[in-house]
Amino acid sequence: MTSPELQDNGERRPLLGEQDHGHDSENDAQATDVEPRGTFSRNLGAREAFAIVISIVIGSGIFTSPGSIDTNVPSPGVALLIWLVGGILAWTGASTMAELGTAIPGEGGVQPYLQYIYGDVFGFLAAWTWVVAVMPATLAILSIVFVESIFSAIGVTDQADSVEHKLLSILILVVMNVANSISTKASTRLNNFFVFTKFVSIAGIVIAGVVVVALQLADTDRDIGGRDWFKKSWFAYRTTVNPDGDKTEWEKLSQWELLGHYSAALYGALWAYSGWDKAIYISAELSKPARQLPLAINTAVPTIVLCFLAANAGYYILLPWNVVSTTDSVAVTAITRLLGPVVGVVAAILICLVVAGSLLGNSFVAGRMAVAAANKDWLPRFFAIVGRVGFGSNQDSSSEGNSDAARSPNRSESDAPLNAILLSTILSALYILLGSFRHLLTFNGLGEYSFFFLTVVGAVVLRFREPKLKRPYRPFLLVPLVFAAVSGFVVVRGAIFAPRLALVLVVVWALGLGFYQIRKYLGQSAA
């Protein structure tokens, strides 16, 4: 009778890719048995996992996305519903990724799942898209928001597309990437410093909103906060003022046009919830991942949703509703209007620290993604070099480092992927120069959710194609189906609503496929 290991390994082949019949089953079985042990100690519990998921997901989006969401909805009530839908989508997506993460070993986000389900070319396209589009766009967004937060503290909210703002955003990007170039230990220590600030900032917004509500109800004639929350219906249509000065009259739009705006708004919410797909990274360090990972996800994500809803309700309480849509740093604007410019500067510093933490963390991940792709020979090998800029190999770098160490034992060497960080810096700078905050949000959402959709559809396919695949965690089938339906609609309608951005993404994929075929041809010729 076939052993469970052999049976499991025999099913692990790309469903739509080339079948590999040349493996030695016994050796593969042994490899499969060894791999899950990993290099990490399994000493984390559900409480630690809960805290890690919270820290991964809560980032700068809650302070930056509300304006882009408000621009694309007819009322504050609908905006809160968009935040709720985005949270549910993140929840179902995280649960499905947990199923795949406990069933299919591998690193690199969705890339190993797509490679396993559909074949190498889909795994490559996912890695390519993240390295060339998603992560650089993310870094560009964060750099723009950092500068916007500073200017919002001094009352300037309409100059985001100016050359000065873009150049300052590039400067911030370079500074944070240089910080990541020092060493892995230095960047992770610096990142830990930023974690606390995000919780303080969210608490400040919520408490300020509660105080304003209490004071307004105690004295209905008091002029405090935005007052629109007190005088107007939260679900009534209103005319929205856009950042460029144009106005959207919602009563005149068709249902199809409304859906387009809703999909664009949802991209803003999904940006704020981004990071839910990374929750599976902690499974290797959990003592009982099949039980603890779902428990962490199913408690942490609802907690995050409640935090985001409370913070956004606070924005609509603290600000006049026609102001929310015109700023990309709504938290700083709200505190400045309520408590004055001095406190606004303090709020701006806190938000900048939150954004800097997100920028540092995403820069760290972006470099490692390029290294992982280079190690698979999907990018030129010199992007996998650590410790120096240039060509060659890590072996050469190690030899030089050992020689230097012999001459100077106290010399500290960088272990950062400098070539990969340089690539990320150049691409991100181009996105800053050529794009805007809100266009980049949509572009980022199209890139990410195209592959999230494929991944979750693949999880459903695996339920029927490989029913005997070991799945320590298996949510109800309705969970991935909900994610697939909503994310599929968001991608299709978003592409129709923003055809130029969709075309740019298609060009990125076409270039990636051409690059993949060239490297494959060169590899076969060399062989």
User: ∠63-66-144 over CA atoms, to 5°?
Assistant: 55
Q: Among 187-201, 423-437, 463-477, which is the least confidently predicted range?
A: 187-201
CATH topology of domain 41-470+477-526: Amino acid/polyamine transporter I (1.20.1740)
Looking at the DSSP assignment, which residues form a beta bridge with residue 44? 286
> Who wins on pLDDT, 412 or 209?
209
Q: How confident is the model at residue 497 (pLDDT cuts 50, 70, 90)?
A: confident
pLDDT confidence of residue 281: 59
Interstrand relation of 240-241 and 247-248 (parallel, antiparallel or unpaired) = antiparallel
Q: Are 169 and 329 in contact (CB under 8 A)?
A: no
Q: What is the mean pLDDT of residues 477-491?
A: 90
pLDDT confidence of residue 191: 54
Q: Is it the case that residue 408 has pLDDT exceeding 60?
A: no
pLDDT confidence of residue 72: 92
> 248 phi and psi, to 5 degrees?
-110, 120
And the tokens for 499? 């055809």
pLDDT confidence of residue 313: 94
> Who wins on pLDDT, 99 or 27?
99
Q: Render pLDDT for 355-370 as a digit per residue (tens, 0 to 9).
A: 777 787 777 777 777 8
pLDDT confidence of residue 192: 54
3-class DSSP string for 88-104: HHHHHHHHHHHHHHHHC
Q: How confident is the model at residue 428 (pLDDT cuts 50, 70, 90)?
A: very high
pLDDT confidence of residue 331: 82
Q: Among 43-57, 202-216, 274-288, 403-417, which is the least confidently predicted range?
A: 403-417
Average per-residue pLDDT for the chain: 78
Q: What is the mean pLDDT of residues 87-101?
A: 88
> 339 phi and psi, to 5 degrees?
-115, 0
Q: Among 113-127, 145-159, 309-323, which is the least confidently predicted range?
A: 145-159
pLDDT confidence of residue 159: 62
Q: How confident is the model at residue 193 (pLDDT cuts 50, 70, 90)?
A: low
Q: Is it the case that residue 65 has pLDDT exceeding 50?
A: yes
Q: Is it the case that residue 6 has pLDDT exceeding 70?
A: no
Neighbours of 467 (CB within 10 A): 9
Q: Is it the case that residue 398 has pLDDT exceeding 50?
A: no
What is the reported pTM?
Answer: 0.74
Q: Render pLDDT for 434-450 as a digit per residue (tens, 0 to 9).
A: 888 888 988 988 998 99
Q: What single string gives the DSSP state of each residue in 242-291?
A: PTTS-EE-GGGS-HHHHHHHHHHHHHHHHHHHTTGGGGGGGGGGBSSHHH
pLDDT confidence of residue 39: 36
Q: Is it the case that residue 4 has pLDDT exceeding 50?
A: no
Q: Is it the case that residue 481 has pLDDT exceeding 50?
A: yes
Q: Is it the case that residue 284 has pLDDT exceeding 70?
A: no
Q: Among 172-176, 316-320, 415-419, which is the least confidently predicted range?
A: 415-419
Conformation bin of residue 390: beta by default, left when phi > 0, alpha when psi is -120 to 50:
left
> Who wins on pLDDT, 163 or 81?
81
pLDDT confidence of residue 350: 80
Q: Where are the domains of the chain?
A: 41-470+477-526
Q: Is it the case that residue 505 has pLDDT exceeding 60?
A: yes
Q: Render pLDDT for 14-25 as a digit per residue (tens, 0 to 9).
A: 444 333 433 443
Highest mean pLDDT among 21-35, 100-114, 139-153: 139-153
Q: Render pLDDT for 164-191 as a digit per residue (tens, 0 to 9).
A: 888 999 998 898 888 767 655 555 555 5
Q: How confident is the model at residue 390 (pLDDT cuts 50, 70, 90)?
A: low
Q: What single string gives the DSSP state of each residue in 115-145?
A: HHHH-HHHHHHHHHHIIIIIHHHHHHHHHHH
